[in-house]
Amino acid sequence: MTAARTVPNFAEIIIDPAKCTTPFDCKRCLRGCPQAVFMCFPVKVEKGKETDPREPSAYGIVPMFRDKCTGCRLCIDLCPVEAITISFPNA
Protein backbone atom coordinates (compact mmCIF):
# COMPACT_ATOMS: atom_id res chain seq x y z
CA MET A 1 0.00 0.00 0.00
CA THR A 2 1.38 3.42 -0.93
CA ALA A 3 0.72 6.57 1.02
CA ALA A 4 -1.02 9.39 -0.78
CA ARG A 5 1.21 12.33 -1.54
CA THR A 6 -0.03 15.63 -0.25
CA VAL A 7 0.75 18.87 -1.99
CA PRO A 8 1.42 21.81 0.34
CA ASN A 9 -1.48 24.20 0.31
CA PHE A 10 0.51 27.44 0.49
CA ALA A 11 -1.30 30.69 0.03
CA GLU A 12 -0.63 32.67 -3.09
CA ILE A 13 -0.21 36.19 -1.74
CA ILE A 14 0.23 39.03 -4.20
CA ILE A 15 1.17 42.55 -3.12
CA ASP A 16 0.80 45.20 -5.80
CA PRO A 17 3.85 47.50 -5.51
CA ALA A 18 2.08 50.15 -7.59
CA LYS A 19 -0.48 50.50 -4.79
CA CYS A 20 1.73 49.69 -1.78
CA THR A 21 4.29 52.47 -2.26
CA THR A 22 5.25 53.27 1.36
CA PRO A 23 4.98 49.97 3.29
CA PHE A 24 7.54 50.87 5.97
CA ASP A 25 5.56 53.97 6.87
CA CYS A 26 2.27 51.98 6.96
CA LYS A 27 3.05 48.41 8.12
CA ARG A 28 -0.63 47.64 8.82
CA CYS A 29 -0.38 44.16 7.29
CA LEU A 30 2.76 43.40 9.32
CA ARG A 31 1.23 44.52 12.60
CA GLY A 32 -2.16 42.94 11.96
CA CYS A 33 -1.16 39.51 10.66
CA PRO A 34 -1.58 36.98 13.50
CA GLN A 35 0.79 34.54 11.76
CA ALA A 36 3.55 37.12 11.00
CA VAL A 37 3.59 36.20 7.32
CA PHE A 38 5.00 39.49 5.99
CA MET A 39 8.44 41.06 6.02
CA CYS A 40 9.46 44.61 5.14
CA PHE A 41 12.84 45.23 3.50
CA PRO A 42 14.67 48.18 1.94
CA VAL A 43 14.71 48.23 -1.84
CA LYS A 44 16.69 51.43 -2.20
CA VAL A 45 19.98 51.31 -0.30
CA GLU A 46 22.66 53.96 -0.50
CA LYS A 47 25.94 53.59 1.35
CA GLY A 48 26.19 55.97 4.32
CA LYS A 49 22.63 57.24 3.93
CA GLU A 50 19.52 56.22 5.86
CA THR A 51 16.59 55.17 3.68
CA ASP A 52 13.57 57.44 4.08
CA PRO A 53 10.55 55.28 5.03
CA ARG A 54 8.14 57.79 3.44
CA GLU A 55 9.90 57.77 0.07
CA PRO A 56 7.77 55.88 -2.47
CA SER A 57 9.22 52.49 -3.47
CA ALA A 58 12.16 52.75 -1.04
CA TYR A 59 10.84 49.72 0.87
CA GLY A 60 8.97 46.60 -0.14
CA ILE A 61 6.74 44.01 1.53
CA VAL A 62 7.07 40.29 0.83
CA PRO A 63 5.00 37.37 2.11
CA MET A 64 8.14 35.64 3.44
CA PHE A 65 6.29 32.98 5.43
CA ARG A 66 3.31 32.29 3.19
CA ASP A 67 3.24 28.68 4.38
CA LYS A 68 2.00 30.05 7.73
CA CYS A 69 -0.94 31.92 6.17
CA THR A 70 -4.30 30.65 7.42
CA GLY A 71 -6.37 32.73 5.00
CA CYS A 72 -7.95 34.92 7.68
CA ARG A 73 -7.80 37.88 5.23
CA LEU A 74 -7.08 40.35 8.04
CA CYS A 75 -4.21 41.84 6.02
CA ILE A 76 -6.62 42.52 3.14
CA ASP A 77 -9.08 44.22 5.48
CA LEU A 78 -6.33 46.34 7.08
CA CYS A 79 -4.64 47.47 3.85
CA PRO A 80 -5.70 51.09 3.19
CA VAL A 81 -4.79 50.92 -0.53
CA GLU A 82 -6.21 47.44 -1.31
CA ALA A 83 -2.82 46.15 -2.50
CA ILE A 84 -3.07 42.57 -1.18
CA THR A 85 -4.78 39.56 -2.75
CA ILE A 86 -4.76 36.02 -1.37
CA SER A 87 -5.77 32.73 -2.95
CA PHE A 88 -5.20 29.05 -2.23
CA PRO A 89 -4.54 27.39 -5.60
CA ASN A 90 -4.71 23.78 -4.35
CA ALA A 91 -7.87 24.24 -2.31
Is 66 within a domain?
yes
The chain-wide mean pLDDT, for the chain, equals 87
> What is the pTM for the complete model shown?
0.79
CA neighbor of 71 nearest in space, from 88, 53, 83:
88
Band of residue 10 on the pLDDT scale cut at 50, 70, 90: confident
CATH number of residue 26's parent domain: 3.30.70.20
Mean pLDDT of the 6-29 span: 86
Residue 6 lies in a domain: no
The number of distinct structural domains making up the chain is 1
Question: What was the pLDDT predicted at 18?
Answer: 92
pLDDT, one tens digit per residue, over 38-61 is 999 998 888 998 888 888 889 999
Residue 30 placed within a domain:
yes
Asked whether residue 50 is domain-assigned, the answer is yes
